[in-house]
Chain A
Amino acid sequence: MNAKTADKIATGVIYAISSIVALILFAMLGFILVRGVPHLSWHFLTSPARAFEAGGGIGIQLFNSFYLLILAMLISFPIALGAAIYLNEYAQKNRFTAIIRTAIEILSSLPSVVVGLFGFLLFVVQFKLGFSILSGAIALTLFNLPLLTRSIETSLAQIPDLQREAGAALGLSRWETVLHVILPAAVPSIVTGVVLSAGRVFGEAAALIYTAGQSAPALNFADWNPFNISSPLNPMRPAETLAVHIWKINSEGIMPDLNAVSAGASAVLIIVVLLFNFSARKLGMKLYKKLTSA
């Protein structure tokens, strides 16, 4: 076989492979959306799940997912921001920095089920928080921290050193320069990173099944006092999320419309995650434009 023929065949194979990959994605998206979207309705999105009969919804799970997401982001963002600032602005090249960097790398590569089990052991059992929103939010925080830290660090590193020199030359300390110069300039890319990580957190289930639990007790959406047991805001109640719900009903669900509920829930999950991914970039670009023009 001469080189020209080989080149043609190889090119053909590469085209074929890429087409298959594209096809897999479109088939999956198509499957979920075609199966799931017809099932979506206001009733489905807002009413509680039913265990034994058809017609149940995902209202509580959807609320739990967002509530957990917000709590997890509220806890993890300041920690990740602080860690990223130290790593990018203060850390010197020494043993301590190398060890911490390795630790973060290891944390990011830990299977999320292990992170969830650790959360179960420490928060659910040891600290007696039980299966609760709080335990789940902490587990999601641990899951989210390494990647968010790295993404913020990258955002900070993209701001040229000229800006740091400018701050220093004006008698501003490192911290003041970071707070008032570097961070504002990095906001577009930090926002993109945060929203992308929110998408990951929203779809995570393995870290939650033994921390936030696998049950969704009825909520009274008229009661917003976080200390009441049936209040949606109560952080100590168990809270099955949308992702956990999909896993749960497919593993042991017995309702007759199981497939329709799963498809509907999967469609919602995917749509939300896609919205996050899409808006992450849009938002970042918009903020950047605002920063450089106005």
Chain B
Amino acid sequence: MTNSNTDLKPASEFIRENAPERFIYNMDPEKHEIALSTHDLQVFYGDNLALSEGDLQFERYKITSLVGASGSGKSTFLRSLNRMNDDVATVKGKIMYRGVDINTKKIDVYEMRRHIGMVFQRPNPFAKSIYDNITFALTSRGNYTKEQLDEVVETSLKQAALWDQVKDELDKSALALSGGQAQRLVIARALALKPDILLLDEPSSALDPISSAQVEDTLLKLKDQYTIIIVTHNMQQAARISDYTAFFHMGKIVEYDLTRKIFTRPKVALTNDYISGNFG
């Protein structure tokens, strides 16, 4: 072998060497309405740094996917956005929402979470009736007439594409629903509070393919009125439904861009490896 080898590298290797290590899409506030943004977010579990350099902007009325292998920090990042991690982790950095940093002591987390709702991987309906599941958070903080509540229940169940299946059994225990139905009930429950932003942590990974597709349809319909941020490990799902995609790796955001760019021409080699299934 001679040293001519170095001159005759395959093209892919060449790209790899010249590719940036990190690419974060920067939105122009003039052109995009930014609903939520994070600035140098760091999350520690004890002394363990689980996520760093979290700088992302989320555009209003768009769906943003957070993808990456398990343990990459995507769920940690998502759960920090409405401070669900407060009890278990230390979150440093800024989370800007409506012009204020919501990652400070001054912010009332309970009020904030009414505007930034969350849906989890496993459906978690309350051991109450379908109706009460939806109205419960509302009635615990204010007075509503029966008519108003009825309307909220109907609208949110319709938005979550569950109304037709349960409208005759609203008094039934929510624990009797199937997995897919329960997950859509949980989405309806979150929507009943009319949040600005909906965070979803792998909302369809515990569901069968049909229920999963129904949840996806629901999310696409909700885009008109809600800013949606979703963690998923399903690449096809991210490609199908999201406008933006952020790729997480080992506690850092490696690439953030328009979904179609990430999936067709990723700028970072690692992203290319991941979406083409070379690891993870």
Contacts and interface: CB of A to CB of B under 8 A. Distances in A.
Chains A and B in contact, CB within 8 Å: yes
Interface of A: 160, 162-163, 165-166, 168-173, 176, 180-181, 184-185, 291-294
A163 B193 CA distance: 18
A291 B189 contact: no
B125 to A, nearest CB: 8
A185 B127 CA distance: 6
Contact of A294 (B111, B119, B136, B172): B172
A171 B124 CA distance: 15
Interface string B205-223: 0000000000000000000
Interface string B222-261: 0000000000000000000000000000000000000000
A160 B119 CA distance: 16
A169 B122 contact: no
B181 interface: no
B38 interface: no
A181 B125 CA distance: 10
7 contacts: A165-B84, A165-B118, A170-B189, A171-B112, A172-B137, A181-B127, A292-B176
B173 A171 contact: no
A170 B132 CA distance: 13
Given A162-B122, A176-B140, A170 B114 contact: yes
A176 B110 CA distance: 11
Contacts of A166: 120, 124-126, 186, 189
B57 interface: no
Interface string B50-69: 00000000000000000000
Nearest to A187: B127
Given A166-B126, A291-B173, A171 B110 contact: yes
* Of B125, B129, B137, most A-chain CB atoms within 10 Å: B137
Interface in B185-217: 186, 189-190, 193
Interface in B100-129: 110-114, 117-120, 122, 124-129
A170 B117 contact: yes
User: Interface SS of chain B: helix, strand, loop or mixed?
Assistant: mixed
A291 B127 contact: yes
Interface of B: 82, 84, 110-114, 117-120, 122, 124-129, 136-137, 140-141, 171-173, 175-176, 186, 189-190, 193
A185 B126 contact: yes
Given A162-B124, A185-B127, A170 B175 contact: no
Nearest to B128: A184
Contacts, number: 72
A281 to B, nearest CB: 20
Given A171-B141, A181-B127, 15 more contacts: A160-B124, A162-B124, A165-B84, A165-B120, A166-B186, A166-B189, A168-B113, A169-B82, A169-B113, A170-B114, A171-B111, A176-B140, A180-B140, A181-B128, A292-B176
A219 B240 CA distance: 80
User: Interface SS of chain A: helix, strand, loop or mixed?
Assistant: helix
Contacts of A184: 127-128
A85 to B, nearest CB: 16
Nearest to A168: B84
Nearest to A163: B124
A169 B126 contact: no
Nearest to A162: B124
A171 to B, nearest CB: 4
Contacts of B119: 169
B109 to A, nearest CB: 8
* Of B82, B117, B118, B193, most A-chain CB atoms within 10 Å: B118
* Of B124, B128, B136, B193, most A-chain CB atoms within 10 Å: B124
A168 B126 CA distance: 12
B170 to A, nearest CB: 12
Contacts of A294: 129, 171-173
* Of A163, A165, A184, A185, most B-chain CB atoms within 10 Å: A165
Contacts of B193: 170-171
Given A172-B137, A294-B173, A163 B126 contact: yes
Nearest to B189: A170
Contacts of B122: 162
B110 A172 contact: yes
* Of B82, B126, B171, most A-chain CB atoms within 10 Å: B126
A170 B173 contact: no
Nearest to B108: A171
A185 B84 CA distance: 22
A120 to B, nearest CB: 44
Contacts of B126: 163, 166, 181, 185
B113 A171 contact: yes
Nearest to B127: A185
B127 A169 contact: no
B257 to A, nearest CB: 28
Contact of B113 (A160, A163, A170, A293): A170
B98 to A, nearest CB: 16
Contacts of B82: 169
A180 B126 CA distance: 10
Question: When A and B form their complex, which 3 residue pairs have the shortest distance between CB atoms, in order from nearest?
Answer: A171-B114, A162-B124, A169-B118
A180 to B, nearest CB: 6
